[in-house]
């Protein structure tokens, strides 16, 4: 180990980004992701039938591991790995752990949360394996409404990714972008689709790069402009 002599460079292009994109079904998550540079989809759900994509169907943990092995060992021209969807990826992992334990639901285990911990850790390890590869990584998730009660007893709702919170928290802790794909109305009254990049009480979002505005059109070409090499 040596002390560094130069600063690391900030990421300025979409080929190196790691991010989570989420939103309602049909809003255009997969279409948006298909425009990333030389994208390969790890397709855990059917939903790409109307898109021309490179994809590996994923239905088991063994297939997840095999896809990771291929990306590590085989020469290829892919630049972006799309996990579509992270929701189903989690469920595949969950079902394998339950089978390994000989149970059908977490509540059947009396190990004080042991099964949940096993699921979360295996899920994290598999996702982290892709995050550690020399590709951009885009994780796609559906959205859901989270309900909480504040100190005054008032109910608050926030739109968040539908992956279980404890499973997701470790994965998103170190990624620079969480983008919420949403609907809005423009100045002419026309319904449009947008990307939300800054968090509010109404939805979860994050932009550690500092490159994106609070809201921008759901258009890959416009999105990419913010990450031109400097």
pLDDT tens digits along 172-208: 999 999 999 999 998 888 999 999 999 999 999 999 9
User: What is the chain's Cα-based Rg?
Assistant: 19
Residue pair 142/163 in contact (Cβ under 8 Å)? The answer is no
For range 99-125, the mean pLDDT: 89
Domain 18-179, CATH class in plain words: alpha beta
Residue pair 37/138 in contact (Cβ under 8 Å)? The answer is no
For range 22-26, the mean pLDDT: 94
Where in the chain are the domains?
Answer: 18-179
Percent of the chain with pLDDT over 90: 76
Residue at token pair 């020469």:
75
Q: What is the pLDDT at residue 229?
A: 58
**pLDDT tens-digit series, residues 43-66:** 998 878 788 999 999 999 999 999
Q: What is the pLDDT at residue 110?
A: 79
pLDDT band at residue 12 using 50, 70 and 90 as cut-offs: low
For residues 91 and 119, what is the distance between their CA atoms, to the nearest angstrom?
9
Percent of the chain with pLDDT over 70: 97
Residue pair 100/94 in contact (Cβ under 8 Å)? The answer is no
Q: What is the pLDDT at residue 167?
A: 94
């Amino acid at each position: 180990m040596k002390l560094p002599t130069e600063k690391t460079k900030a990421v300025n292009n979409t080929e190196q980004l790691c991010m989570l994109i989420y939103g309602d079904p049909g809003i255009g998550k997969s279409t948006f992701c298909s425009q990333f540079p030389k994208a390969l989809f790890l397709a855990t759900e059917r939903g790409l039938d109307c898109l021309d994509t490179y994809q590996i169907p994923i239905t088991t943990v063994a297939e997840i591991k095999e896809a990771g092995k291929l990306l590590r060992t085989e020469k290829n021209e892919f630049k972006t790995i799309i996990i579509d969807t992270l929701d189903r990826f989690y469920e595949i992992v969950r079902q394998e752990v339950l089978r390994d334990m000989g149970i059908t639901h977490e509540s059947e285990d009396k190990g004080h949360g042991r099964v949940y911990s096993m699921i979360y850790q295996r899920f994290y390890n598999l996702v982290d394996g892709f995050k550690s590869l020399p590709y951009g990584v885009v994780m796609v998730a559906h959205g859901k409404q989270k309900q909480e009660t504040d100190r005054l007893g008032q109910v608050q709702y926030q739109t968040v990714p539908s992956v279980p919170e404890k499973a997701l928290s470790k994965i998103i802790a170190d990624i620079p972008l969480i983008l919420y794909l949403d609907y809005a109305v423009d100045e002419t009254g026309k319904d449009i689709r947008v990307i939300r990049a800054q968090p509010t009480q109404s939805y979860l979002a994050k932009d550690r790069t500092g490159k994106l505005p609070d809201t921008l059109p759901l258009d890959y070409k416009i999105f990419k402009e913010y990450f031109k090499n400097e």
